[in-house]
């Protein structure tokens, strides 16, 4: 069984020592490291202790053999949407129904309606759905493994035009995108 302790811990910005200190009773960072790498068996007791320390449901700590878990594939920085060097598992806050794969984008630098620390959940859809995405925020793949993110303001058979969030942003035109991912949920810490 593969666990997601490391992914959840990193997404929450915690170190091994932070998780160990928040466990009841406290443990060592080395023990948490062994549990998250599989060097030590993750018992039900440890699952409950670590889940409480991470403030998540225990079932989120394990992932089955199902295909295609949602992933964080991009982040938004001062220079716009960027691809992550390595996609990471995303922790889905609630079940979202619908067609198309779910992906997530972390907001590192606030712009427009988005704040630093936000996470945007998007649904990946094909060209047949582009007409329904007008005036919605979308993530679009660009050549070279890059991305563009913004409000879709125009489209035709060969291209889409996006207006990135924030004042003074210039329109970005993407030719023949293979897919677009429309924003469905904004996750923001309180």
Domain boundaries along the sequence of the chain? 2-63, 71-187
Is residue 124 within 8 A of residue 181, CB to CB? The reply is yes
The pTM score is 0.55
Q: The domain at 2-63 falls in which architecture?
A: Orthogonal Bundle (1.10)
Contacts of 79 (CB under 8 A, 6+ apart): none
The verdict on domain 71-187 having CATH code 3.30.565.10 is no
List the one residue out of 19, 158, 185 whose CA is nearest residue 102.
185
| pLDDT the model gives residue 153 | 92
Residue 12, judged by CB atoms within 10 A of its CB (0-12, 13-18, 19+), counts as middle
List the one residue out of 88, 70, 86 whose CA is nearest residue 6.
88
Per-residue pLDDT at 56 exceeds 90 = no
Tell me what the mean pLDDT of segment 96-108 comes to: 77
Percent of the chain at pLDDT above 70?
91
Tell me what the mean pLDDT of segment 36-63 comes to: 85
Residue 53, judged by CB atoms within 10 A of its CB (0-12, 13-18, 19+), counts as buried
pLDDT digits (tens, 9 = 90+) for 115-166: 888 888 888 888 888 888 899 999 998 887 788 999 999 988 788 999 998 8
Distances (CA, A) of 189 to 12, 93, 107, 174: 10, 12, 12, 32
Percent of the chain at pLDDT above 90?
24
Which residue did the predictor score with more confidence, 96 or 105? 105
Average per-residue pLDDT for the chain: 84
Banded model confidence at residue 177, pLDDT cuts 50, 70, 90:
confident
| pLDDT the model gives residue 1 | 52
User: What is d(CA 145, CA 83) in angstroms, rounded to the nearest whole number?
Assistant: 7
Tell me what the mean pLDDT of segment 25-51 comes to: 88
Banded model confidence at residue 19, pLDDT cuts 50, 70, 90:
very high
User: What is d(CA 73, CA 138) in angstroms, rounded to the nearest whole number?
Assistant: 13
| pLDDT the model gives residue 102 | 82
| pLDDT the model gives residue 185 | 86
């Amino acid at each position: 069984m593969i666990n997601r302790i490391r992914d959840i811990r990193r997404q929450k910005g915690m170190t091994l020592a932070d998780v160990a200190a928040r466990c009841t009773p406290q443990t060592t960072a080395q023990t948490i490291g062994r549990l998250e790498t599989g060097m030590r068996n993750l018992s039900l007791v440890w699952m409950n202790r670590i889940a409480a320390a991470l403030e998540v449901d225990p079932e989120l700590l394990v992932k089955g053999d199902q295909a295609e878990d949602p992933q964080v594939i991009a982040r938004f920085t001062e220079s716009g949407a960027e691809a992550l060097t390595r996609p990471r598992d995303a922790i889905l806050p609630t079940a979202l129904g619908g067609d198309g794969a779910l992906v997530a984008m972390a907001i590192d630098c606030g712009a427009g309606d988005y704040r630093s620390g936000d996470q945007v959940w998007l649904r990946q859809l094909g060209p047949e759905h582009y007409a329904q995405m007008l005036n919605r925020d979308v993530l679009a793949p660009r050549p070279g493994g890059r991305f563009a993110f913004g409000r879709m303001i125009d489209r035709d058979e060969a291209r889409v035009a996006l207006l990135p969030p924030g004042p003074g942003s210039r329109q970005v035109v993407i030719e023949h995108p293979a897919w677009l991912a429309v924003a469905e949920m904004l996750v923001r810490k309180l």
